[in-house]
Chains A and B, each alone.
Chain A
């Protein structure tokens, strides 16, 4: 089993090392998230000032926002740039030369990139928003911790599923880029993911008649479901439903990806590109 995992682990290690190298980017990314969090919180606070009673409280909306910024790296914005470049330089056939299952390889790569990229950013973000803010009297604007151990445990499960959902999405984008032979095939990703995951507006604040649809669409599992589990807005049965929805979509995305990739490789084998 470990022999099978070896190539994937090797990829994970190399990716993490590469990411550590670009320290300027790491720091800049962090500042980015801080700023963005601040903007969103100020907008939220301005709205809540007029009408404070809502399905989620302002404090929860603020925690939601910080979670979103800290875990932004988990979202599937684009295809793997290595794949895009390989496609555009005509070298994508070389991906076939590696003696590993391509879908699993790409999935591992995406998981590594996202986990690595997020790990770098979330810790300092947490330190600032969850620890520093309350310490300097900005407790109202802080990133609050989960209220119960149950919420924390369920969140751990949910966010892991979100990681795999996002990675499976990235693999789908990779396949799209290979299939359509252009990196532009993945451009649709960010624009779909942004609203439907809850990154623009927490899904709970959307109109009531949309709630059912919003809960069961695939991208809710990237942000909205895990975050609401985190601060207990989704608990017990509702949390279970959320996790089920995530599992459902991870499975669908992975299976769809494997099937599609097989078709795409068949074409590559025939045409050489």
Chain B
């Protein structure tokens, strides 16, 4: 059975385990959706009070918001094993067992505790996107749709890379690290807005260090025809999501170093 097929099997098992208590499962899903929608409502409330933020209107910001939510929710669902890597695998020594199986550690970790409740956030992201599309009234050509999907893919790769890095750090610090929650949840919070509302140094950080700007701001601004506001030529917006994949590749490089460290120092 190939790696992907095995992952699907893990996911199916996880789903069945969660569906053993269908009402509880549905409740959690609905709760997460409700809460993330309320967060989106918070955004709306701010716009209701302030009207606009540096020239960006609510539907425009909702498009950024939705893209980030969708990317993050996809990663949140599939990387619980990485997120809880410290306490669940390093501290308990359970990672030994992962290494004792003739499979990539990544596959096993992705299959660990697949977070179906994140479908709630995914739904919220889709709702935000739907609202944005409904209120924006721009023509959705094939290339705009493709660019949105490509941006979301890049965002997924970027957040995935962040989670892998978080797990890698756990090899050294053992506990689950809040600092990475800053980058994930903080990144979600920051990238929900077009980056030009932030001070220059922060914007640069979000473009060159944690390239959220590359996977959200630039492509979505391009879709909105506002690439000039973003300060990039229109064609560049189509390429920047690649940064997310580059980040992911680097993260896995660090991960491999982490595994080497783990096997050198024992659990």
Binding site for B on A (CB under 8 A): 22, 24-25, 28-29, 31-32, 35-36, 38-40, 42-43, 46-51, 54, 81, 180, 184, 187-188, 191-192, 194-195, 200-201, 205-207
Contact = CB atoms under 8 A, between A and B. Distances in A.
A26 to B, nearest CB: 10
A27 to B, nearest CB: 9
Given A42-B197, A191-B36, A47 B182 contact: no
A31 B177 CA distance: 11
B199 interface: yes
Interface of B: 24, 28, 31-32, 35-36, 38-39, 41-42, 45-46, 48-54, 87, 117, 172-175, 177-179, 181-182, 186, 189-190, 193, 197-199, 202
A28 B177 contact: yes
Contacts of B177: 25, 28
Summarize B's interface: helix, strand, loop or mixed: helix
B28 A207 contact: no
Contacts of A36: 182, 186, 189
Nearest to A55: B49
Given A32-B181, A195-B35, A205-B45, A39 B175 contact: no
27 contacts: A22-B174, A25-B177, A25-B178, A28-B173, A28-B177, A28-B178, A31-B182, A32-B179, A32-B186, A42-B198, A42-B199, A43-B53, A43-B190, A43-B193, A46-B53, A49-B54, A50-B50, A50-B53, A51-B50, A51-B51, A54-B49, A187-B32, A188-B31, A191-B32, A192-B35, A194-B39, A205-B49
A42 B46 contact: no
Contacts of A51: 49-51
Contacts of A47: 46, 49-50, 53
A220 to B, nearest CB: 15
SS class of chain A's interface: helix, strand, loop or mixed? helix
A86 to B, nearest CB: 14
- Name, among B39, B54, B172, B179, the residue most crowded by chain A CB atoms within 10 Å (CB to CB): B179
Nearest to A34: B182
B173 A207 contact: no
B50 A48 contact: yes
Contacts of A49: 54
Contact of B172 (A24, A180, A187, A188): A24
Contact of B198 (A46, A48, A194, A205): A46
Contacts of A32: 178-179, 181-182, 186
Nearest to A205: B49
Nearest to B197: A46
A43 B46 CA distance: 10
Given A22-B173, A42-B198, A50-B53, A191 B31 contact: yes
